[in-house]
Amino acid sequence: MRKTTFAVVAASLIACSGKGSGSSTTPKDPNARATYGSFGFDEAGMNRSVAAGDDFYEFANGVWAKKTEIPADRSNFGMFAVLDDLSQQRTREIVEAAAKIAGNKVGDLYTSFLDEKTVEAKGMTPLVPWLDKIKAIKTPQDLARVMVEVNRAGLANVPFAGYIGQDDKQPDQYIAQMAQSGLGLPDRDYYLADDEQLKSVRAAYVAYLEQLFTLTQQTDAKARVAAVVAFETELAKGQWTRIESRDSTKTYNKWQRADFEKNAPGFEWGAFFAAAGTEKQPAFLVAQPSAFTAMAKLIAATPIAVLRDYLMLHTIDGAAPALSQAFVDASFNFHDKTLSGTPENEPRWKRAVGLVTGVMGEAVGEQYVAKYFPPAAKAEADKLVKNVIAAMDQRLSNLAWMAPETRTAARAKLAAFTAKIGFPDKWRDYSSLSIVRDDLFGNTIRASEFEWRRQLAHLGQPIDRGEWGMTPMTINAYANPVLNEIVFPAAILQPPFFDPNADAAVNYGGIGAVIGHEISHHFDDQGRKYDKTGALKDWWTEQDIKQFEALTAQLVKQYDAYEALPGKKVQGSLTLGENIADLAGMTVAYDAYRMSLGGKEAPVIDGFTGDQRFYLGWAQVWRRNYRPENLAQRLMTDPHSPSIQRVWVVRNLDAWYNAFAPKATEKLALPPEQRVRIW
C-alpha cells in the first residue's frame, strides 16, 4: 500500500514541533486549569540535578525521559505521539460510527481492513493478477508500461518517481515533476556505507526479499534476490545524496519531452509516459538529472528477468500490509522491527484508522473539526500567527547584514504570506472513489488510482490555492514555498503545544516558536530562494547571500559536532534548513512574547520567571525517547535534528543566558562571539 508517486508535493514539508498559543491579554475562565502542571509545563518531568547550562534538554525533561517507556508498537515516543494517540482514538470513534451506516465509504473502508477473516481467506489471491502481469513482461516497452501500472496502483516503488506540482519558476502553472526513487532500503547509503549496523540491515533485507518470494511460491529465491539486490546497489550508486537533493536550485531542471531520450537513453520513455497519462506534456521538471542518466543506462544493461524480479519484489512488498497475516508479519518484521526497532505491530484498528486517514482524510477531517476544533481555538491560533509575523517583520526591518533593497523585498514576501489554520475551506470530493466493504486489497488499489487521476486533473488548470497537504487530524505543520504559505492542522493545536489555559510564556515557547519556525522556512537556506509570488528566482544581492551562507556554515559546524548515538553524529548539512528554522522560530517567538507583555514584566510562577517559562515551553514539546534503530535511521535520512539537539538551539540565544545564567564552564555555554545569530 505505497503512496502513489504522482501526487502534489508541498515543498519543505516538516515534522515540526508542537504548538501552543495564547496571549497575555486573553481572558480566561478563572476556574480553568492548564493540562500540564500549574502553568502549562510539567515540572515533575524535570531533572533539577542537572544544570540548565550543561544540558537544557535533560534539565527540562530528564525525569520524564527516564520514566517514560516507549510503547511496544512505536519506534519512538514523545509529545507528538501523545497527541497522535488522541487523534487516532477520536478518528476511530468517527469511523466506527460511519461503519454502522450502510454504504458509507469511510465506514466500508474501515470495515474492509478490520475484516481479518475475509482477508485471511483470500490469502495472496488478490496479488496474483499483478504478479502474472509482471511475469508477462518481455520487452523494454512492457517493462516501462508495467512499471507505471504497479506504481499507479500504489504497489511498487520504481526508479522514476513522478508527481504533479507547481513549476517553481512559474508558480501559477502545474507541471509534471520527476525524482529518483526505486530503492527498497531507506537511503542509498544503506547499500553503500561500510558500517557494521548497515551490513546487518542489508543481510536482513536479503532475507526478507527471499521470504517474499517463498510466500508467493517463487523458485530459486536466493539467486534471484541476490541479482535484485545487486541491481538496487548499482541504482543507489548513481543517485544523489539527500544533502545534494535539498538544493532547490540544482534540482530545478526543465526537460522537454525529447530530452529524455537524449539525456537518459536506454529506457522506453514513450511507453512510460503513455501509461502515466502524461504523454502530451511538453515539459517536465527533473530533480536529479545525472541520476536519471545513470538509472536509464543501468536498466538498459540489466537482464529483463532481473528487472521483472525487481518489480515483483517491490510489488509484493507494497501489497503486503493488505494481504494475509503471513505477509503482514513479514513486512512488519523487516520495515518496523529491523529498521526501526519496534517490537510489536500496531493493533489492527490503528492500522485501519491509518488507512482511512490516508485515503479519505478530509471526509473524516470534516467531522473531526466539527467535533474537536471550536472556532475559539482557530481565532486564538490566528492571533498568535499575526503576533509572530509582526515580530518577524520587526527582525527583518532591523537586519544589519541584509541590503536595504533585499530587506524591503523580504518584508513584502512576509506581508504576502497565507496562513492556513485548522482545516481547508473546501473539503475534497470522494464521490468517484469506489469502496467495497469486503475488498481491502481492491480498495487500496482503487484509492491509489483515484489519487493518481485527481492529481493528473491539475495539469492545465489554475492553481488550487486552497489545497492542503495534510489532514486536520495530523500532528504536524508545514511551509510551502511555491504558495508562500504556512499550514497548521487542527490536531496539533492542543496541549502541550497550545493550551488556552496555560501561561502565555509556555504557549509562545511552544506554538509560537513553531509558528516562527514555519514562517522562517521561507527564509532558510532554500526557502529564501523563492520570492513573494512563490517563484524560484534570485532576489538577494550577492553580498547578502555570502553573509547568510557564512552564518549558516557556523550552524552546520555546530550540529556536525553533536554525537546522537555512539559513533553516529548529526549531519549539519542535511539538517541545516530545520536548524535555521528552529533558531529563527525561537528568536521571533521570544520577541512576540515580550511584545505581548506590553512593556510589563511577567509574574514569577512557581519560582520561574516569564523568560524561563518560555524556554521550558520549547523544551517540553520536544520530549521524545527513541529506539536506537529508529534514531540511527533518522540520523541518515531525517532533515530534522534529534529532539535533544533541537532543544540545544537555545545555546545561541542571548535571552536564554539571561534567563538561566549558565556558567561559562558548562557544556552548552558559548561565549557571545561564538553564538550563531542569523535573524
- Asked if residue 21 has pLDDT above 50, the reply is no
pLDDT score, position 426: 97
Answer yes or no: do 296 and 397 share one domain: no
The answer to whether residue 28 sits within a structural domain is no
Count CA within 13 A, CB hemisphere, residue 12.
34
**Looking at the predicted structure, is the pLDDT value of residue 267 above 90?**
yes
Nearby residues of 100 by Cβ (< 8 Å), 6 or more positions away? 107
At which of 322, 345, 368 does a domain end?
Answer: 345
Residues 258 and 137 in one domain: yes
Residue type, 438: D
Distance CA 581, CA 596 (A): 22
- Higher-pLDDT residue of 669 and 11 is 669
What pLDDT, on a 0 to 100 scale, did the predictor assign at position 30?
64
**How far from each other are the two terminal CA atoms of the chain, in whole angstroms?**
43
Q: What is the mean pLDDT of residues 87-91?
A: 98
- Using a pLDDT cut of 90, give the percent of the chain over it: 94
* 8 Å CB contact between 3 and 453: no
Run of H or E including 67 = helix 56-67
CATH number at residue 259: 1.10.1380.10
Mean pLDDT throughout 93-101? 98
Domain shared by 403 and 294, yes or no: no
Alpha-carbon distance 476 to 492, whole Å?
6
Residue 414 maps to a domain: yes
The H or E element containing residue 318 is: helix 304-319
- Domain span at residue 62 reads 13-19+35-90+378-426+466-674
Do 605 and 535 fall into the same domain? yes
Strand bridging mode 170-180 / 283-286: parallel
d(CA 486, CA 10): 10
In a shared domain, residues 215 and 308: yes
Q: Domain check: are 53 and 192 in the same one?
A: no
Within a domain: residue 503? yes
Task: Answer whether residue 14 shows pLDDT above 80.
Answer: no
What percent of the chain stands above pLDDT 70? 95
Per the domain annotation, does 351 fall within a domain?
Answer: no
- The verdict on 513 and 575 lying in the same domain is yes
Give residue-wise pLDDT tens across range 644-664.
Answer: 999 999 999 999 999 999 999
Q: Number of structural domains, the chain?
A: 2
Rounded-to-integer distance, Cα 421 and Cα 417, Å: 13
- Banded model confidence at residue 381, pLDDT cuts 50, 70, 90: confident
| Eight-state DSSP code of residue 322 | G
Q: So what's the pLDDT on residue 629?
A: 97
List phi, psi (to 5°) of 532.
-65, -20
Nearest CA among 45, 46, 43, 40 for reference residue 19: 40
Q: What is the pLDDT of residues 563-593, one digit of tens each?
A: 999 999 999 999 999 999 999 999 999 999 9
Rounded to an integer, what distance in angstroms lies between the CA atom of residue 438 and that of residue 206?
Answer: 33
- With cut-offs at 50, 70 and 90, classify the pLDDT of residue 18: very low
Strand, helix or coil for residue 231: helix
The predicted pLDDT at position 238 comes to 98
484 and 589 belong to one structural domain: yes
Task: Give bridge partners of residue 91 from the DSSP assignment.
Answer: none
Q: Are 4 and 448 spatial neighbours (Cβ–Cβ below 8 Å)?
A: yes
Cα 203 to Cα 222: distance, rounded to the nearest angstrom: 12
Question: Residue 419 maps to which CATH number?
Answer: 3.40.390.10
Residue 482 in contact with residue 531, Cβ under 8 Å?
Answer: no
* Predicted pLDDT at 32: 80
pLDDT recorded at residue 167:
98
Asked if residue 9 has pLDDT above 90, the reply is: no
Helix (H, G, I), strand (E, B) or coil at 289: helix
Backbone angles phi, psi at 418, to 5 degrees: -115, 130
Cα–Cα distance, 469 to 467 (Å, whole number): 7
pTM: 0.94
Position 29 pLDDT exceeds 70 = no
- What pLDDT was estimated at residue 3? 36
Is residue 112 situated within a structural domain?
A: no
C-alpha cell at 585: 522560530
pLDDT at 154 over 50: yes
Contact (CB, 8 A) for 18 and 510: yes
- Report yes or no on 368 lying in a domain: no
Given this model, what pLDDT does residue 377 score? Answer: 87
Q: Is the pLDDT of residue 25 over 70?
A: no
Residues 300 and 165 placed together within one structural domain of the fold: yes
* E runs forming strands in 314-422: 418-422
Same domain, 198 and 316: yes
The Cα 254–Cα 264 span in angstroms is: 14
Asked whether the predicted pLDDT for residue 5 surpasses 60, the reply is no
Does one domain contain both 52 and 143? no
Q: What is the pLDDT of residue 28?
A: 52
Q: Are residues 595 and 643 in the same domain?
A: yes
pLDDT at residue 17 is higher than 50: no
Q: DSSP 3-state assignment of 573? A: coil
Q: Residues 530, 522: contact at Cβ < 8 Å?
A: yes
Grid coordinates standing for 82?
Answer: 501523545
Whole-number Å distance between alpha carbons of 174 and 320: 33
Contact 173, 167 (CB under 8 A): yes
Q: Is the pLDDT of residue 2 over 70?
A: no
For cell 540520523, name the residue: 635
Q: Tell me how crowded residue 325 is: count the other CB atoms within 10 A of its CB.
A: 11
Q: Minimal CA–CA distance to 81: which of 629, 621, 510?
A: 621
Residue-wise pLDDT tens digits, 273-313: 999 999 999 999 999 999 999 999 999 999 999 999 999 99
